[in-house]
Chain A
Amino acid sequence: MSDLVALLVVVPLLGSLVALTAGIVRDESGWAVALVTLAVQAAMAATVAWSVLSGEAISYAVGGFEPPFGIELYVDGLSAAMVVLVPAVALGVLAYARRAGPRSNRFYATYLLLVTGLTGMSVTGDAFNLYVFLEITGLTAYALVASGDRGRSAVAALKYLLVGTFGASLYLLGIGYAYVATGTLNMTDLASELAAVGYASPLVGAAFAFVVVGLFVKVAMFPLHTWQPGAYEGAPDAVSALIASLVSTVSAYALVRVVLTVFTPEYLAAVPLARTLLAATAAVSIVVGSLLAVSQTDIKRMLAYSSVSQFGLIVAALSVTNGTALVGLAVHLVGHAVMKGGLFLAAGLVSTGTGARSVTEYDGLAGRMPVAAGTFGVLVLAMVGVPPAVGFLGKWYIVLGTLEAGAWALATVILLSTLLTLAYFARLLERMYFRDAAEAAPDATAVADGGEGDADGVSTGMYAAAVAAALLAVALAAAVPAYQAALGPTVEVLLP
């Protein structure tokens, strides 16, 4: 069973190589390779997750070197969710990319490499190994963003690269401090060694600050989010969906893993400043992210700022460190990934079908593309937190967790964030359903500009992916009680 964990990382890596070499033999064979690889990975991920959620956490020593000396792979209830989420979303986006995508084999090789990086980040139990996977994820994400054919894609990718590398480097620096203080890199081992060094030590403080700020860059917390809107906007639609859905999510998971496993809740209890750093950043991100989202005219940029705000919720849940909030965090991580991925896919559908990319161009969309508008509408409502969709459940647990912790200010901000989310999404609903399209004019120009606005360009696969996301956003809610129960042992380990 535990070998499967290693295979989870190896399979997409091999798939990536196969896709690259297959390209020499035959063009456009990458999609099929990616499909098979991801299907195999998804099946294995499901097996691993099932065994973890119904039994115990799995630990695997890479190359037979026992931790804390060797690299450990570790899957518990929290990472199990990520392990399943990554191939599942990747498969969904793949269905979308068949017609829409870049189609070259190089694209699919990079795509699978990104999946490798993300899976690696999810399963690793080693702090430095996490850095390596973080960089693999980063590198491939930069390359994928640049695969758009516009000049702006390259600029956005470069900006993403510079800021992203800066964040990863800070993380490495933080790990360096931790290593200097303790002489170990295994996460569980670090936890006990850091405690032995003493939480008051400036080395430990610096390590925490650098690691957390470095990961804030990757998660895109305000004010370190600057790479995100450009990258999402500049990337091809399939890539924005994949990155928006997974990269920040898995980075946020890494943040949770580092804070809870490496530094442990005791550290947050001993150093109130650390907790304040998390809570304050979260609150500011929630509010400012929403306000920036309201002021956007481009749909993808608006969705990007919405992510800034939503990840504020995640970090807020992390900052209070209790079981209820942790459940909410996990639920919202998965739920947000599905919803945001679906929203980007739906936005892609719309821009392929009608050429509409800005808020005003969504006027009367319900008449032009009823299914896309309906999908968008459902996802938007789920995101706002209308019950019984999964967005509501995540929020409910997080609010309850903050109440249990007595963090009143945070609870208020989170509750009000519902209204802030509504502020930028309601206008879209209104435009889609209660305004007529201004004229055919915007369509015509878009078609003339870049050959967009081609209704035939929208394939069944593209629709299926977006609609599946919308259905999942509602249906996942039913799985939450079971997941919460299965998460029990993990919570006990993480929050003793």
Chain B
Amino acid sequence: MIAALADRAYFVAAFLLLGVGAYMLIGDRNLVKKVIGMNVFQSGIFLFLVASAFVTGASAPLLTEPAPYVSPLPHVLILTAIVVGVSLTAVALGLIVRIYEEYGTLRADLVEEVGDGE
């Protein structure tokens, strides 16, 4: 069991990140921490995909290296996904700044309570 987990350490880590991130995203009341949770959650996915490309004993996908290669595709994909994630974070933080200006708090429950802020 432990050996099996050790073989898949990356995957275990990925799923821990997923769990932590999802918990923060849903459970935390602070808006900024929610966004951090979202980031952690996404990092878990990135790690999972990148790790999936690894092939034991393979070399980097360069023509000068001997076969077999690790798969290069997930890395490319994850680069895209990271860019998407960064822009999401930017938009989220921008919204939070606006919410803070309107309501003067970062607590989600208080914001809900105040309502329209007018």
Our pick among A138, A150, A176 for the contact of B117 (Cβ within 8 Å) is A150
Q: For the complex formed, measure the closest distance between the CB of A194 and the CB atoms of chain B, giving whole angstroms.
A: 16
Output the residue of A142, A151, A180 with the most chain B CB within 10 A.
Answer: A151
Q: Is the CB of A166 within 8 A of B52?
A: no
Identify which of A154, A183, A449 gathers the most chain B CB atoms within 10 Å of its CB: A154
3 closest A-B pairs by beta carbon, nearest first, are A151-B117, A151-B102, A154-B98
B53 to chain A, nearest CB (A): 9
Pick the contact of A183: B38, B45, B71, B102 (CB < 8 A): B71
Q: Using Cβ atoms and an 8 Å threshold, which residues of chain A touch B73?
A: 179, 185
With A150-B118, A166-B38 in contact, is A161–B91 under 8 Å at CB?
yes
Shortest CB distance A236–B (Å): 15
A146 at the interface (CB under 8 A from B): yes
> Contacts A176-B52, A179-B49 known; A166 to B31 CB distance under 8 Å?
no
Identify the B interface with A (CB < 8 A). 18, 22, 25, 31, 34-35, 38, 41-42, 45, 48-49, 52, 71, 73-74, 77, 80-81, 84, 87-88, 91-92, 95-96, 98-99, 102-103, 111-112, 115-118
Residues of B within 8 A of A475 (CB): none
Q: Which of A's residues lie within 8 Å of B, judged by CB?
A: 128, 131-132, 135, 138-139, 142-143, 146, 150-152, 154-155, 157-158, 161-162, 165-166, 169, 172-173, 176, 179-180, 183, 185, 449-450
User: Considering the chains assembled together, what is the distance between the CA atoms of A174 and B53 in angstroms?
Assistant: 15
- Main SS class of interface, B: helix
Residues of B within 8 A of A152 (CB): 115-117
Instruction: Give A378 to B109 CA distance when docked, in angstroms.
Output: 40
Question: In the complex, are the beta carbons of A169 and B41 less than 8 A apart?
Answer: yes
Q: Report 14 cross-chain contacts, Cβ distance below 8 Å, ordered by A residue.
A: A128-B80, A139-B91, A142-B91, A146-B95, A150-B117, A154-B99, A161-B91, A162-B25, A169-B42, A169-B45, A172-B81, A173-B45, A179-B49, A179-B74
CB distance from B40 to the nearest CB of A (A): 11
Q: Closest CB of chain A to B69's CB: distance in Å?
A: 13
A135, B88: Cβ atoms closer than 8 Å: yes
Pair A146/B98 contact, Cβ less than 8 Å: yes
Given contact pairs A162-B92, A172-B49, A450-B118, a sample of 7 additional A-B residue pairs in the complex whose CB atoms are under 8 Å apart: A135-B84, A152-B115, A154-B99, A158-B96, A173-B18, A176-B45, A176-B48
Q: Smallest Cβ distance from B20 to chain A, in angstroms?
A: 14
List of B residues within 8 angstroms of A128 by Cβ: 77, 80
Q: Do B52 and A157 touch (CB < 8 A)?
A: no
Contact between B95 and A166, CB atoms less than 8 A apart? no
Task: Give the distance to chain A from B52, nearest Cβ to Cβ, in Å.
Answer: 5
Is the Cβ of B111 less than 8 Å from the Cβ of A165?
no
Name A172's contact: one of B45, B96, B117, B118 (CB within 8 Å).
B45
